[in-house]
Structure 1
Amino acid sequence: MKTDSNSLKSVERSFRVLEFVRDNEPVSLTRISKELDASKSTIHRHLSTLVSIGYLIRKDGVYRVSCEFLSYANRIHLRDPSYPIINRKVQELADESEELVQFTTDERGRLVYLFKQTGRNGLFSRSDARTFRPLHSTAGGKAILSTWPREKVEAYIDRNGLETITERTISSASTLFERLEEVRERGYATNREETVEGLGAVSVPIKDPNGEMIGALGISGPINRVLNGDSEYPQILLDAKKELELTIRLL
């Protein structure tokens, strides 16, 4: 059976339209047409279809994504029985540390933010499920990479490279492997201004009862607070890791 290439291209175009609306809402037909370099009639057909099936809404001449996507987010948050427990721990740690606490996982070599909670003194972050960062540039990503065998890390480097975000981002494979060995020895990973100048973070990997990686639990904030010599956050996270993994084993 032959694949209908025109149908596949049409589906791809619909997703491009949907993603553009998501990232730029509220947005007009004219702007979408211009930015995606397609005729208004073509874009209008895709928009009309997406509105009719409930994925977009049109009001006052502009388009926004609908609440239909909340059901997808909820499904992701519920698909692993450990997620509600992890989410509660994120909230507890935010109250205790008064910093920004996040739980992340990996998808296609990028760090994905699943849960976050900002404590009383925590930094505001726009990171959410739409935010993707290279694994090697973050504390959570390095915590995750530390659980992988060397061959898998090498494949990650070959596929994604080592993108430099700041002058402190790891940019060589040898340095990355050295840092990952340090993470395994002490049990936690750090981010010292490797994604944003002035930002520090600490993160620990969380595993399921079979030893498979679920994600990484981390605390972020000004580097002078999070990674000073007297910081209690590494130990707080190591204790939280033990408690979480024990609770998950009892599910």
Structure 2
Amino acid sequence: MNKLRRVDDEPPFMTDSRAPLAQTTVTSLRVVEALDEHGRLGVTALAAELDLAKGTVHKHVTTLERLGYVVKEDREYRLGLGFLGVGVNSQRRLDVYRVGRGPTDRLSKATDTVASLMVAEHGRGRYAYRVPHGDEYELAHHEGDVLPLHATAGGKAILAYTPADRREEILESHGLPPMTEHTITDRDAFREELRSVRDTRTAYDREELLDGWHCVAAPITNEEGDAVAAVSVSAETEFGDASKRTQDVPGLVISTATAIENKLRSP
């Protein structure tokens, strides 16, 4: 599980931090996240992981089990497939997923790369759709994973086409933490990077999220020109290197974003 932000962290920037939290809900979601991260845990291990009383943990896992979201096996608990149904339904209801899967599939095939659709939620990026390329790719991130916008090509594409006041709220709330030695962490340098993205409609991740991986993305915008998502391709090679790739990968990414935009905007 990606641990960029957990439910017991500070609330995301767009929530009202003054609003009271339902602590029982927070605890249940902490239990869910711990099981997601570790796979299977018993009550004692869960209590130690979450620094909670065993009785409290037992009450929450028992409730989740009775509701069909947790399964007990040999005195340990794991997440049940109830979450799969919720996640799949949420994914299918995204317009960009519905109209963008086909173009993203074709982009992956045309470029021989991993292709993805990213959306922004609570100041973070999430993969709404991800197309692996061949069996040789052991992907570090999958559909539904949360990622930092500033260290990903898709995130940069979204931020560059986000209204300035909202973009500054995101940067203020989440900062520019280093993910690798290549991550842009200087605020002025990052703003300059976003200006370049807006000028070219192309964003790059040059080993800024994962060492050895490169990514190029383009924004998918609405009628007002604001980003609703981004489409990207990723590979263990630099894009635009004529000695390695003959096709215009950035151009293919942009044309795919345009095709998805046209579908989203059509009545």
Q: Distance in 2 between matches of 1:91 and 1:60?
A: 41
More helix per residue: 1 or 2?
1
**Counterpart-to-counterpart distance in 2, 1:53 and 1:41:** 18
Moved over 4 A (4+): none
Tell me the TM-score normalised to structure 2 length. 0.84
Q: Compute the displacement of 1:42 (Å).
A: 2.1
- Displacement of 1:212 in angstroms is 3.7
1:48 pairs with 2:62: yes
Moved more, 11-20 or 49-58: 11-20
More moved, 186-195 vs 12-21: 12-21
Cross-structure match for 2:102? 88
Q: Could you tell me which residue of structure 2 aligns to residue 247 of structure 1?
A: 263
Structure 1 residues 10 and 120: alpha-carbon distance in aligned structure 2, compared to 1, 3 A threshold:
closer
Q: How many residues align?
A: 245
Structure 1 unpaired stretches of 5+: none
Q: Is the contact made by 2:103 and 2:259 (CA closer than 8 Å) also made in structure 1?
A: no
Larger Cα Rg: Structure 1 or Structure 2?
1
Q: Return the offset for 1:52.
A: 0.5
Q: Which amino acid aligns with 1:182?
A: S
Q: Does 1:30 align with 2:44?
A: yes
1:114 corresponding residue in structure 2: 128
Pick aligned residue for 1:236 from 252, 255, 259: 252
1:76 corresponds to which of 90, 100, 112 = 90
Asked if the contact 2:128–2:144 (Cα under 8 Å) also holds between the matched residues in 1, the reply is no
The answer to whether the 8 A contact 2:130-2:143 is kept is no
Map Cα deviations across residues 43-95 of structure 1 (whole Å, 9 max, x no partner): 11111111001110112222111111122212222223342221222222222
Partner residue in 2 for 1:141: 155
Question: Which residue identity lines up with residue 256 of structure 2 in the other structure?
Answer: A
Counterpart among 162, 179, 193 of residue 165 in structure 1: 179
Greater relative CO, 1 or 2 (CA 8 Å, sep 6+): 2
Letter of the structure 2 residue corresponding to residue 49 of structure 1: T
CA contact (8 A) 2:212 2:236 kept: yes
Alignment equivalent of 2:140, drawn from 126, 134, 138? 126
Q: Percent identity?
A: 27
For residues 93-149 of structure 1, give each alpha carbon's deviation from its aligned partner in whole angstroms, at most 9, with x where no partner exists.
222222111111111211111100112387321313442222111100100011023
- Residue type of the alignment partner of 2:253: L
8 Å Cα contact 1:201/1:227 also seen in 2: no
- CA-based RMSD of the aligned residues comes to 2.0
TM score, norm. by length of structure 1: 0.89
- How far has the Cα of 1:219 moved from its partner? 0.3
1:202-238 residue CA offsets vs partner (Å, 9 max, x unmatched):
00001234434221100001133x3424642101111
Letter in 2 for 1:197: D
In structure 2, the residue matched to 1:200 is: 214
